[in-house]
Structure 1
Amino acid sequence: MAAVAPVAVAVEPQFVAGASLRSQMLAHTMRVAVKPVLDVWGRYPGPLWPAGLLDMSARILQPTRGVRKRRIRLDDCDAEWWQRGGPGVDSDGAPAGTAILYLHGGGFLTCGLNTHRILSLRIAAAADASVLSVDYRMLPRHPIADSIVDCVNGYRWLLDRGYPPDRIVVAGDSAGGFLTFATALALEGLGLAQPAALVALSPLTELDPANKLARREGAACPLIPRSVLLTLADIAGRADGPTPTVSPVDAVLAGLPPVLIQVGSTEMLYADAELMAQRLGAAGVPVTLEVWDRQVHVFQAAADILPEAARAVARIGEFVREATRASERPAAAG
């Protein structure tokens, strides 16, 4: 029987109205205290900027209770494995439950396991899942292609541990959203089965900044200045050399698993989220695009203080559980 071609679907964004006073105050604080610093870096990048200091400083952040940490080594980078509950197995001998492969943001240049530990664990808790966070290689020492290899190796680690693909969800924020899609596309090229679903928070999906800079959301963004996007594109291009990385929006997307995208309505990467959702829909991929009213870039990281962020994380948990529910296996008969 001939394969059925995917049906293109026009994606209607789901607008989540309302911005609390706390979220508005956070946006104002970022606009006056953080965005100017990022703008200076974007205009005058150089080796004197301590890119690794942010992640090092975040080591003081405490993890969620009730999970067990294991530091592991992939082929070319480190990773952290946080397992919820006991090491149970199902009737087929595979690890019980769901695993999330989490890919942190930071523009491929900064952040890491420490800065994103609380966010990744909070998402895992909402989904009642374990989580593997990958400390992938970054610019400018390594091209984005190396980052993708590291993320694929994280996926292979979960497979080797016994998790079937339909019990794995790949998730990431910002540049990690780029890697979420790029990892799934790389799996396709390697002949590996797709995960159950993808989750992308405020994802960067197009390295060329032209479309983003032309949109009104870019000017209104309280965090990311235009100079950062221009510099990032330049650094990525120089690191890639003669083989530039293909942005996810320009790839063949048919065959990817269901996708959840969350983005703020006034952030720089709204254009990327919207374009990716439309191209996924055109390729016949089930996709949900949630647009959260006036929320800052990766607002989900502030779930301890923002009611919108707490609701968004809960929604991610629901999506992950729904995506993996079909693969749940009944316990063996006694």
Structure 2
Amino acid sequence: MSVKGRIVTDMIRFFTAQKMLGPKIQDGTLRKNLVEAPWHCPEEYINLPIHMRQFEMELLTPKEEDCGEVILQLHGGGYIAKIRNAYRDFAVRYSRIKGYRVLSVDYRVAPEHPYPAAFQDALEAYRWLLYSGFTGDRIILAGDSAGGGLVLALAMYLRDQGMPLPQKLIMMSPWTDLTASGPSYQENYEKDPLFGNTRESMIYNGEYVGKENPKLPYISPLFGDFTGLPPMLFQVGSLEMLLSDSVVAAEKAKKAGCDVTLTVYPEMFHVFQLSMDKLAESREAWEEIRRFLRKE
């Protein structure tokens, strides 16, 4: 673990331990109420807002280098928070790997819009790409946390419906088990600097599940059938309560014959890739994504 990585981990643990601030971080209140300055698109890109009937999207397009492929990005936030600037920065980072266009989906969120709202919006975004002329083999699905779970659920649905499958799946700390029943929910309960030491967090609130069965594969894809899914990359931190969401899903995918890459980053926290170039571990994870997309 890098020195900066340890410092950041300790800082997260310090803030989540504060009586006033900690619960707001862990239950998503702070994330939901986040007010950000307007995002400034880099000069070499055009970021086009797309207004759908029930949700919004943004299409980031490079002005010059365009590889003819697109990444459909599904953001995290526990299904209760909308898109934020970090994911627009993610879009730029993805695009620069190969000249991708990146479609970021600002899907509807709970509790106002529980399942299947976010799932339906992700599916509608994928259909929009197909209608726009992209074939499945030119579409890549990428997401983190709740968005990572949506990536896997969407891929399963596309296969089940006989629709064109995407080229690849990228999942950062995906939330694949909304029953919170995996072994790491106990083993890392006191280790996780972000969600640990409480059951009053977005992991347990059930707002997205609503009245549905949390074991439904399109809610918790961990319990689904992995047969025939595209090549997939899982990245997760060893300290996460959601560690088993990736480990068990990767094991099931391998048993189903899928091409799977799972990397557990030692001593890392939930979606540490948000640190971008500030942490050595984050730089390593983004380099792994680059190799995965470029087949190196």
Query: Taking structure 2 as the reference length, what is the TM-score of the superposition?
Result: 0.89
CA shift digits 1:93-117 (9 cap, x unpaired): xxx4220000000100114143421
Which residue of structure 1 aligns with residue 149 of structure 2? 178
How far does the alpha carbon of each residue in 1:161-182 deviate from its partner, in whole angstroms, 9 at most, with x for none? Answer: 2221111100000000110001
Instruction: State the one-letter code of the partner of 1:142.
Output: H
CA gap of 1:117–1:230, structure 2 versus 1, over 3 A, is closer
Partner of 1:53: 33
Displacement after TM superposition at 1:256 (Å): 0.6
**Pick from 181, 194, 202: which aligns with 2:173?**
202
1:289 aligns with 2:267: no
Q: 1:276 aligns with which of 210, 234, 249?
A: 249
TM-fit CA distance, 1:133: 0.3
**Maintained 8 Å contact 2:82/2:109:** no
Q: How far, CA to CA, are the matches of 1:141 and 1:297 in structure 2?
A: 25
CA shift, 1:244, in A, is 6.7
Identity among equivalent pairs (%) = 31
Aligned residues: 291
CA distance change for structure 1 residues 243 and 214 in 2, over 3 Å: closer, same or farther? Answer: closer
Equivalent residue for 2:56, pick from 73, 78, 96: 78
Aligned equivalents of 1:259, 1:50: Cα separation in 2: 31
Give 2:229's aligned residue: 256
Partner Cα separation in structure 1 for residue 80 and residue 23 of structure 2: 16
Q: CA RMSD in A?
A: 2.5
The correspondence of residues 159-238 of structure 1 with structure 2, limited to 5 A, is 159-212=130-183, 214-225=185-196, 226-227=198-199, 228=201, 231-232=204-205, 234-237=206-209
Q: CA deviation at 1:127?
A: 3.9
The one of 285, 288, 296 equivalent to 1:312 is 285
For the 8 Å contact 1:59–1:115, the answer to whether it is kept is no
Q: In structure 2, what is the equivalent of residue 6 of structure 1?
A: none
Specify which structure has the higher proportion of helix: 1
Shift in CA distance, 116/219, structure 1 to aligned 2, threshold 3 Å: same
Quick one: which amino acid aligns to residue 255 of structure 1?
G
SS of the residue 1:224 aligns to: coil
Q: Where does residue 23 of structure 2 map in the other structure?
A: 40
Higher relative contact order (CA 8 A, sep 6+): 1
Indicate the residue corresponding to 1:326 in structure 2: none
**What is the DSSP-based 3-state SS (H/G/I as helix, E as strand, rest coil) of the residue aligned with 1:273?**
helix
Cα 1:243/1:181, change in 2 over 3 Å: closer
1:134 paired residue number: 105
SS for the counterpart of 1:223 is coil
* CA positional deviation for 1:229: 5.0
C-alpha spacing 1:163/1:211, structure 2 compared with 1 (3 Å): same
Distance 2:75 2:203 in 1: 21
* 2-structure distance, mates of 1:231, 1:42: 14
Which sections of structure 2, spanning at least 5 residues, go unmatched? Answer: none
Instruction: Provide the rounded CA distance (Å) in 2 between the counterparts of 1:38 and 1:256.
Output: 41
User: Gaps spanning 5+ residues in structure 1: where?
Assistant: 1-18, 89-95, 324-334
Contact map agreement 1:202 1:298 (CA 8 A) in 2: yes
Deviation at 1:245, TM superposition (A): 3.9
- In structure 2, do the counterparts of structure 1 residues 300 and 63 end up closer, same or farther at CA, with 3 Å as the change threshold? farther
* TM-superposed deviation, 1:64: 4.0
**1:313-332 correspondence runs (5 A):** 313-322=286-295
Deviations 1:210-264 (A, max 9, x none): 32565423321111134215533x3234x24479743101111101100000111
